[in-house]
Amino acid sequence: MQKLLFLLAFLAWGCTRKPQDLSLLQGDWVTTNALVRNSLSDQPITFSFEDSLCSYLFASLGYSKYSLQNDTLLIKTVHPLLGNHFHGTKQEASNSAFSIRKLQADRLQLQPANAATQAILKRYNLRPGRVLKLRKLTTKNQIRFRKIGFYSTGCFGSCPWMYLEIDSLGHFLFHGKEDTNPTGLHRGQLPLPFVSLLNNKLQQLDLRTLKPYYAANWTDDQQWGLRITYADQSTEVHVYGYDKEPLELRILFNLLMDLYHHLALTPDSTVLKAFEFKEFMKGKIIPGT
């Protein structure tokens, strides 16, 4: 029941928001400030807003709850990793706030509105008093998936090792191998609004320029793979390390890695035989790694 309520919260309208504000804010945004960069990959900082959850700074931290109060954006639960970016109390570090200076269909300007947020953004070269300028990612194709296969591997640390498949009706098959909760073989049902959300993320990918492999120049990191079938075509991509892949792909990976947390999963040992992409699910050695 708790997971169902949390999932409904993901999809529900916030009581403090105006519908027009929500519709403009929802989507994926990237910074356009020249010097404001993600320190891990030298890429723009990203913000991804759904109905009541968002991911920000870089698209590998999962999702946090947020709300709008007049012209202030409040991110109430910041990922624990952000504690490394702020030396203050836990309460201060868990409440990021931004003043919304501009909100248009394709442009967003945010100004840090408390000490915690200023301290975090200072690490990303945003000087005090400056405004974050962002643009919304746009649709680049019109595909609607028939099936998605996605894997993530372990790493030299605690990286979720999993495999999942989702079809266009929301049937969700999951194998949690290590550092997932739960582990083992499970089934679930993805609500159709989430299916639409996945299609929206997929439609932001530039399939014409997407490479089959992306690899960072270091070792002991995690690897991810994506296979999508649509109409009579398929696309497959494998990524090692958080480095050279398109931001749109990283944002999609972040959502796929987070979905299983919010579903009521049922243990089912027959899932292993039900997986369609049996070769893909084994992973692939990326050239150069």
Region 132-155 average pLDDT: 95
Does residue 123 share a domain with residue 48? Answer: yes
Region 34-60 average pLDDT: 76
Does residue 42 share a domain with residue 155? Answer: no
Does residue 161 share a domain with residue 45? Answer: no
What's the CATH number where 198 sits?
3.30.1560
- Note whether residue 265 is domain-resident: yes
- Note whether residue 108 is domain-resident: yes
Structure confidence at residue 288 (pLDDT)? 63
Examine the pLDDT at 79 and tell me if it is beyond 60: no
261 backbone dihedrals φ, ψ, rounded to 5°: -60, -25
Mean pLDDT over the full length of the chain: 84
Examine the pLDDT at 145 and tell me if it is beyond 70: yes
60-78 residue pLDDT tens: 667 888 888 888 999 875 5
- Note whether residue 14 is domain-resident: yes
19-40 residue pLDDT tens: 446 788 999 999 998 777 665 5
Structure confidence at residue 40 (pLDDT)? 57
Does residue 208 share a domain with residue 82? Answer: no
Does residue 158 share a domain with residue 128? Answer: no
Does residue 180 share a domain with residue 131? Answer: no
Does residue 169 share a domain with residue 211? Answer: yes
More confident residue, 125 or 222: 222
For 29, 120, 128, the CA distances from 231, given in Å and listed in that order, are: 29, 44, 49
What's the CATH number where 59 sits?
2.40.128.280
Query: What sign does the CA torsion over 80, 85, 91, 94 have?
Result: negative
- Note whether residue 287 is domain-resident: no
Structure confidence at residue 21 (pLDDT)? 60
Does residue 232 share a domain with residue 254? Answer: yes
- Note whether residue 72 is domain-resident: yes
More confident residue, 13 or 50: 50
Examine the pLDDT at 108 and tell me if it is beyond 90: yes
Number of domains in the chain: 2
CA distance 244 to 164: 24
Does residue 270 share a domain with residue 156? Answer: yes
Lowest-confidence region among 58-62, 115-119, 148-152, 192-196 = 58-62
Structure confidence at residue 286 (pLDDT)? 73
Does residue 211 share a domain with residue 129? Answer: no
Q: pTM of the full predicted structure? A: 0.83
Last residue of a domain, one of 136, 155, 172: 136
Last residue of a domain, one of 115, 136, 157: 136
More confident residue, 38 or 200: 200
CB atoms within 10 A of CB 160: 20
Range of the domain at 243: 147-282
- Note whether residue 288 is domain-resident: no
Structure confidence at residue 157 (pLDDT)? 80
Region 201-226 average pLDDT: 93
- Note whether residue 186 is domain-resident: yes
Does residue 277 share a domain with residue 181? Answer: yes
- Note whether residue 141 is domain-resident: no
| Confidence bin at 249 (pLDDT 50/70/90) | very high
Does residue 89 share a domain with residue 37? Answer: yes
Last residue of a domain, one of 86, 104, 136: 136
Lowest-confidence region among 61-75, 89-103, 145-159, 253-267 = 89-103
Examine the pLDDT at 85 and tell me if it is beyond 90: no
